[in-house]
Amino acid sequence: MSAFTAREPLLSVRDLTVGFKTDRGPITALDRISFDLGRGEVLGLIGESGSGKSVTMRALLRILPQKRTTISGSILMEGRDVLALKRRELASYRGNDVAMIFQEPSLAFDPVFTVGRQIAETVVRHKQCSWDAAYARALEMLELVRIPSAKSRLDNYPHEMSGGMRQRAMIALALACSPKLLLADEPTTALDATVQIQVILLLRELQKELGMATIFVTHDVGVAAEISDRVAVMYAGRIVEMGSAADVLKSPAHPYARGLLSSTIHGAMAGERVEAIPGMPPDLANMPSGCAFSPRCAMAMPECRNVIPAPASVGAGRSAACIRVGSVAA
């Protein structure tokens, strides 16, 4: 195991490739994903459904269905190779070093245990403390995520809470062991619009206060802009553009990123027509040759069908995977 120094990134992902066996044959859900994440940094992962955002998150925790999944590449967390961890080491890594907030809190909580018990159980597991201390920690966490009358809420079952409160409790659970990396997998998708904003503001505040690195998955560009230092845009299992949130969202280089931005309400001005990207995302079992976006791309050239473009630098800390990069950026 290599010695970890402060200058190295917290998380370093190289050529992460995830394949699934399906009834219709093998598919590649993630194709050579590479990125780094510094301590305390917030990375926004944007893309349509099926672009591989959730698969990336689950691969980082290795919670993809074992029998049907093949993973290659490398995931280094503080210099440790996550893909090489033994079952025991993996269990200590999950929930302790890296914790995850799931999309649907109503499905991610065990329905037959109280919320307090589920938080305390995780704390006891990783911090080897007494149950009393763990419940005290659970109470502290519920207060931190601003659940009113937190003490009595400890004894609530998940179904006794509202959707927004359940997601707050899920955040409390994820942060209870002070993870160095927080994975938030579309944490507000299942919530009402008004509650969504509250939860996002809460997450942003907690991130600033506690300083853990965060990967925030969303298909909402506005949310990504609100919370991220850097963003990565995914399409059909590949990262097509990555860079600082300000740069990418202001002047996207990749044609898909441009399309995605102009197709959101946030991107368009009042009275302006919202532009949709023509066509549909590709079927992962039947990928087009070359650039996966080329069949939908207004700027595609014949050559786009022949090569899968590698990420190329487009300025400081920015990259885009398009052979027309440079000529595209306005």
- Which residues of this protein are in contact with another protein, per CB under 8 A? 61, 63, 90-96, 99-100, 102, 104, 107-113, 121-122, 125-126, 157, 159, 173
For the bound state, the minimum distance from the C-beta of residue 96 to another protein, rounded and expressed in Å, comes to: 6
Nearer to another protein, 54 or 319 (CB): 54
Q: Any residues with CB less than 8 A from the CB of 227 and at least 6 apart, and which?
A: 42, 44, 200, 203, 204, 207, 214, 216
**Residue 298 burial (10 A CB sphere; 0-12, 13-18, 19+):** exposed
Q: How far apart are CA 36 and CA 47, in angstroms?
A: 18
Nearer to another protein, 63 or 84 (CB): 63
Q: Any residues with CB less than 8 A from the CB of 207 and at least 6 apart, and which?
A: 42, 182, 214, 227
Nearer to another protein, 58 or 230 (CB): 58
Encoded amino acid at 235, one letter: Y
Q: How far apart are CA 53 and CA 47, in angstroms?
A: 7
H/E stretch holding 29: strand 25-37
For the bound state, the minimum distance from the C-beta of residue 293 to another protein, rounded and expressed in Å, comes to: 31
For the bound state, the minimum distance from the C-beta of residue 205 to another protein, rounded and expressed in Å, comes to: 23
Sign of CA dihedral 40, 90, 104, 47: positive
Rama region for 272: left / alpha / beta (φ>0; ψ in -120 to 50; rest): beta
Nearer to another protein, 98 or 328 (CB): 98
Length of the chain: 330
Encoded amino acid at 213, one letter: A
Nearer to another protein, 92 or 130 (CB): 92
Nearer to another protein, 126 or 324 (CB): 126
For the bound state, the minimum distance from the C-beta of residue 228 to another protein, rounded and expressed in Å, comes to: 22
